Structure 1
Amino acid sequence: MRRPLVRASSGSGWGRLALILSILSLAAAQSSTNTSSVPAVTILLNCGARESKNDAGGRLWEGDEESKFAPAAVANLVSAVASWQDPALPSTVPYMNARIFTAPATYSFAVSPGRYWLRLHFYPANYSQSYQRSDALFTVVSDRYTLLHNFSTSQTADALIQAYLVREFSLNVSSDRLNVTFSPERKSGYAFINGIEVVPMPDMFSTAPLVGTAGTFTISSSTVLQTMNRLNVGGQYIPPTEDSNLSRTWYDDSPYIYGAAYGITNDNGSHNLDYRLIPQYTAPVKVYTTFRSMTSDPKVNVLFNLTWMFYVDANFTYLVRLHFCEWIYPLVNQRVFNIYLNNQTAQGTFDVIGTGAGLGNPVYKDYAIYVPAEKGDSTLFVALQPDTTANPPPQHYDSILNGLELFKLNDSAGNLAGPNPVANIDNQGSDTVVNTPSSSHNSSSKGPVIGAVAGGVAVLGLIIALFCFVRRRRGSSSGGDKPSGWLPLPLYGGNSHTMGSKLSIASGKSGTGSYVSSAPSSFCRHFTFAEIQEATKNFDESRILGVGGFGKVYEGEVDGGTKVAVKRGNPLAEQGIHEFQTEIEMLSKLRHRHLVSLIGYCEENCEMILVYDYMAKGPLRGHIYGNSNLNPLSWKQRLEICIGAARGLHYLHTGAAQTIIHRDVKTTNILLDENLVAKVSDFGLSKTGPTLDHTHVSTVVKGSFGYLDPEYYRRQQLTEKSDVYSFGVVLFEVLCARPAINPSLPREQVSIAEWALHYQRKGMLEEIIDPHLKGKINPESLKKYGEAAEKCLAEQGVDRPAMGDILWNLEFALQLQETAMENKVMDDSTADLIQMSPDYNHVNNLATYAAVDNSTSTSTGGHSLASVDLDDLTPSAVFSQLVNPQGR
């Protein structure tokens, strides 16, 4: 895989000359690009509609009924309205009206010569009784280019679990007309279109090195490109309205990351971004201010690549555009890495600063690669790897990427069309990998090609789709072809700006409320949207309790004053349909004192809303750091909270009907009620554990960076010991009062797990504890606590204790602390007590009893020390309870 290029030393004359020439070449190229003329006209056509209307984003679409661009009014030209509105549509405009053709018909747009984005919007639905969605099979041609061929919108939408489809092309128009022709492929069928966008764009493409050869690929005025993917690497979804005048959509890159090596995401804000080397329209600010890099450990970084995987159509050339902006290392030869496409070197010893860019100066690199037809799925891998062969060696073995765009280029016949995807029988929203890593892949099963689309589509719906397709790629036995084009996932509906999908996880079809139909109604209440609005005073911002991966959490009141927490799904948040369904399915079946109770849910008006018990004290994290308005917790309080959380997790692992693995244990997911009783929350990522004849669940890696079990991270094999590892991080976080990951600290302190383990193993843990706890922890209590946390963080899962054992150790640590506190009180009056009672040993026994009696710990399904009747205990009984607690 490695074919490094020899990089000249930055100190040599030749190196300086090469750098100067590179800068001058880049400046000349960008100067040419900056002066590119941009055609002036933008057209938004609402096909099949008579009047002009605004979409949900405020853009005005012209009805084509009497438009000068519409095809001639002939008998085979029909205006129709969809028979039903899928709630996942981002807007009724342009999707509810359609122009239907039973014979070839052409839209002709009067434009100025230049390059344009052409976006075609399709909503596969029944249009009256005459036009069934399955009968739409057609070809789309623009001048001599075939954009879509034998295109089945219904088959594509069903296979990709989409409510609507968008295809984006970049075409150069040399005349004053852009023609787009729709032709049905069979007599009994029809062609249709819901919306057409013609958006002027600058001439953004020129030449690119052809990977695997010594030549270059020229993107001329005759080249047509189809957008396959557009990713904001390390960042979140960017809607079209935030992308200058080009109306592009950028998606989160995490669904495309291959393997467990996710790296670290960063957001620099918009500070000091300077487009001096490239035009500002190249990509939005948010693309360049967020990025994904590797870990802080160079020894780890040299062992793996940052890799993204895409499903593509074979026998086409693809253009890969990589966006870079360095924010951390200001000098040449500090971060140097290799770039690979499909295991071939696209560029060796690449240095962002070496291109002539300074900190905050964005640049991009283009590469072309041909993907031949091979056995199995056609895939395109983009990989970054630290360059360990550079001379002199770089200061940091790391790599970085800010954005990625993938375009398919037309072949020599002017064709861009790929085959229709084949629907998977089991389109489920699970991320479980059915086959083991050693399972053979069916050569005929195909996955999706996913790309950006216009409209307010939730980025995290992409995660659900990709996981479905990974399952199909690994486990499907049905044959078929790969899909071509761009995948918008149905997560919004109507004109609402909130969650809107009604996707059925079981069937892949759309239907109101179907994705929560499995929730037991006897334990989970259904709220109307009107009830939720009343409870939250119409989502008054003053009632916000916090913001999480799913969305905002509001304080609410239901049933005449009962306080609740209302979590409202956010379209741009990190979690979506699958997490919503999982939360309901899990929590509706679980009731435990140390688990947050789910009261109900609401799915009306295209919303995803969950209603929980109100936790007055909020997340544990705010009580140990990050909130100066809260009084610091005592050591005893922290121990009791950790014991409560351990009891909740222990119940999940052993007390439920089937083992449940939480998969996202962290201090923000441990909530406290008014009495500081801990309750584990947020079950959106939870998984049921392995069956008796399996040792693990094979699944893609999910969780929070800094808490992830390294074994799970490497092998993608999930067990309850993964929760134990995360809980070990929580234990050190509670003790040291600092985040699990803090990139601003020196390298050896970035990860609290590594930092605290280092001090624990040296017997110096007291040196890094929360200053508020200095001198207030009994050494034996601290020792027992540290040992428990250390065991949780064992590298191998088999070496970690069960959660019940951790619970026992924490209760022992609490007992040691309370005994020490009681003994300290007793020491102040020892002389008086000795004078009153000649039996000094009796005094010590009383102190032991008092320590047990004052414990506030309770347990569910068993007995802790505090729950045992002291009248039935002798001193030896107390000891036996510590050694072998009842109910464990």
Structure 2
Amino acid sequence: MKDELRSHLWFHLVCICLASSIIRILGKSSGIDSESYVIACGSSSRGTDSDGRVWWPDSKFLASPANSVPAAAQFQDPSLPSTVPYMSARVFTAQSSYKFSVPSRTRLWLRLHFYPSAYSDLDPSNAYFAVTANEFALMNNFSASITAQALTQAYIIREFSLTPVGSGDLNITFTPSTAHDGAYAFVNGIEIIRMPDMFEQATMVGFSDQAVPVDGSSLQTLYRLNVGGQYIPPTNDSGLTRTWYDDTPYLFGAAAGVTSAADKNVRVQYSPDVPEYIAPLDVYSTARTMGPDPKVNQNYNLTWVFQIDVNFTYIVRFHFLDFLLGKVNQRVFDIFVNNQTAQASADVIAWSGSEGAPVYKDFATYVSNGAGDEQLWVALHPSVSMKPEYYDAILNGLEIFKMNDSNGNLAGPNPVPSQMLVHAEAEAAKKFAPSGPSSTGQVIGGIAGGVLGFAIVVSVCLFVRHRRNEANGTESRVGKWLPLYGSSRASTTTTTSKSTISGKSSGTSSHLSSLAGGLCRHFSLFEIKHATKNFDESQVIGVGGFGKVYKGMIDGGSTAVAIKRSNPSSEQGVHEFQTEIEMLSKLRHKHLVSLIGFCEEDGEMILVYDYMANGTLREHMYKGNNPPLSWKQRLEICIGAARGLHYLHTGAKYTIIHRDVKTTNILLDERWVAKVSDFGLSKTGPNLNQTHVSTVVKGSFGYLDPEYFRRQQLTEKSDVYSFGVVLFEALCGRPALNPSLPKEQVSLADWARHCHRKGNLEHIIDPHIKGQVSSECYRKFAETAEKCLADRGLDRPSMGDVLWNLEFALQLQENPDDAADLAAEREGHDVPRSMFGTDEGTAVSGGEIQHDSNPNAVFSQLVNPSGR
């Protein structure tokens, strides 16, 4: 009897254990245990995606089912990775929430999946909504349709790292926008995954003694790159199901360095400081370095460019493992984030202690409104001062996270799609729309999918061709999808000491003071603070690479000025500060911004200019809320800027090459007169016995002369190239560089030249000025801009020729009959007097300002070249 009872008890115990095991297994496989959720929204049954992951229905997690309906997508885009979860959706007609039970005090990954397709009779363009996770605003007025169109993607994934939840419940709320009639919300998939606490604090860029605490903040993952390697799917990522993408699309220009993979014998040694979940083995097994030539490496930056939202703090995480070298000081380099030194003299081996040990570094940077393009630049450059064995840099992985602001907000604006893309899709939809209304969505979706698929194929082909040309040492003249430009924001000379100002070293301070005494005014710091209300943020009118620009009132409030202040905590900009003073104090011209004076007290570097009431040219074409300029205004502004540049090249005592011509450096006064500004990078040109000046490459992304970048040989034709980009900006109304566009359109210079050669440049003209440009004026203007962008400097026109052609284009626009007489004068080599008046330019010689008495004095150096 006892034996039977004992057997019976053992049988029940085994059954209980087996049942518990089955429950645990089912719970984990379902993805709905307390550790994680993998939910296919709107689905009535579980499904498996292409990676083998199981997605479960969402109905049991809805807090208010009455405000939502399940829906199925009417069209499957061929680029979708899987039907699960994208072909089903949960549509919300009013505010509604999901409620998930999660472990308290645990950080979570939250991923939201969106496929903007037609659901039932709903128009995908009407989906505008907000998303919150507990107290954090993740999205606001979000349009998946606009975002997918701008990014040329069929589906969108948004990933967030949520701060530990205290209550044990995570509420995800979807709210249709009240600002749009008929707005609704939708979501296709939700992932909630428990993650280890991998964030602590990050060093603030520019303030090495300050750290930003990250552990109490929520983050949005913007970029996660396997640098030098290939795409890593979620199934290969340490159980955290992260996706790592190829870094190639974000590299700046052709200076992409070289990629390498670790030898099979190299063993990655994770440690308690760098556990395996920080990044998978595949990330640390590949790398991108600068290349084998130390001279080339010292003259360029290995640079990546990323689109971001302003007014947020960003965490930039660098992953390193040096599997090629194994000793300290063999490879030492500097790390730059947005033109600021994040880390000087980085030595991976010194950090990690051995060849196979990974290491990561976190840096924080705040991007404020008005800083120019909404972009974040990351650059590496060899630390020449450390004299390492190899002048090189290395990077294995890169992640960029956006931190919530003080209001718990992570939401940014919807991206702006390319106008050309919008027009093309509208035309395609109009052309191929069937008569039956029920199939309209399917046909449009099919066209969009086909266009997207074709774009992907073309991009891949262009990339392969580009790489083959690089490997063969040749260069294709067409089809480049990334421009051949160099770096300026992450300058290679960023460690100049502040001791060169304020009398802390011999010579410089006294030189500037004597210069100020004769040619420009020396302000006290008290005067500057009084003028700017002690540098009040309300007075800020712009932010540049040098620092913030304030509007100020001097001389008892009677004169408005622009005051440019260098970042006091930065050790950058001393050379630019001196150059600006030395250049502008010797030049006076109607189309150059006038330097009034400077201040160099208490370590400050401050420049005072005439106030330009209408800001920059760029603000009036895009990147601003101003009404767009008319075509005639744009043409007159381009002519004014060309006059200023032509004066620099030929009218001053020596040739002056601006070296940073761009639309943000063309300012407009209250009468819309264009003035060239920012001479911090300017360089005195070659003399008669030289053809060029050899110098380290500097300039701005999107505008830099590719010949100058390749050869490090600067001529005035480099300014001509940059001005050609400005001309196309004026015509097309888009930035010089826009990584959010399809790859072949990223560079305006490359894309405009391609369109001009194909005869369809008119398709990318700014819609605001279409119909304003006469055909004759358009042809002359486009021809001039295209010639400025010639690959070789010798094939480009001089700035004087550019100026003449622009004035000719204006004549063709205003009075075509008089244009013939102007052309005849040109053939007879008569310089049009309308270009240069006696009040246009003055030059300084021997400390005194000399006014040009001859209206053609800008050509005096051609008659008597001894001045050069």
Q: TM-score range by the shorter chain?
A: 0.3 to 0.5
* More helix, by proportion: 2
TM-score by length of 1: 0.47
